[in-house]
Amino acid sequence: MEKQSPECKRRDDGCFDGYRVNCELVPCLPARIVSRCLSDPRRVPYLLIWKHRWSGLIKEVVRLALPLPTSQILKKDWIEAKRGDGIDVLISLSQRPKGSFLICNSCQEDRRALYAWKVNQGLHNVSPVGWHCRVCAGLSYASEGGALVIRRLLPQLKPYRKLLRKPRPGPWEPLVFASPWDAMDAGLCQFNP
């Protein structure tokens, strides 16, 4: 059973009570992308860009690169994630028989993905965070909450099934570029001499 965020409040009926943000609406950094960057023999930085699903606006930009030799951590499974706003975080990758996992910078647990933003319960918004797991960032799945009620009612509402059923949204993963020229060709950045 997955642990709950300390900020997670429940009503008497067991339902979530409070400000809610679905993890599918927060920029997600999957372990497989970090693993691909670390295993690239060219040892080049990767540019990750998260575009808003509907508006197409760029919401988050990260440069993944190997840590400089002068940094204190010289382990082979560490990567530096530098955001567009200058926030720089070291992220550790853990290789297990079941695959690659990222180590959450908050709880130090193995996770398949880390998230860029965390929920601020008192302010009812999200803010940038140093790449935490879903639980530490206070995020929920879209399938939790009201969607479960609809799924339970579907057998009785069989004639309306197609109208009520919506596909589960996938994680908000980045566009990945191993070359800035590729990002320029895609129209996502410009060359500044």
Q: Mind listing the pLDDT tens digit for each residue in 102-141?
A: 999 899 999 999 999 888 876 667 888 889 999 998 888 7
Distance CA 187, CA 16 (A): 41
Going from N- to C-terminal start, the domains of the chain cover 13-185
Distance CA 25, CA 139 (A): 9
Mean pLDDT is highest, among 42-56, 58-72, 74-88, 100-114, for 100-114
Q: How many residues does the chain have?
A: 193
What phi and psi values does residue 183 have, to the nearest 5 degrees? Answer: -65, -35
pLDDT classification of 98: cutoffs 50, 70, 90:
confident
Its pTM stands at 0.75
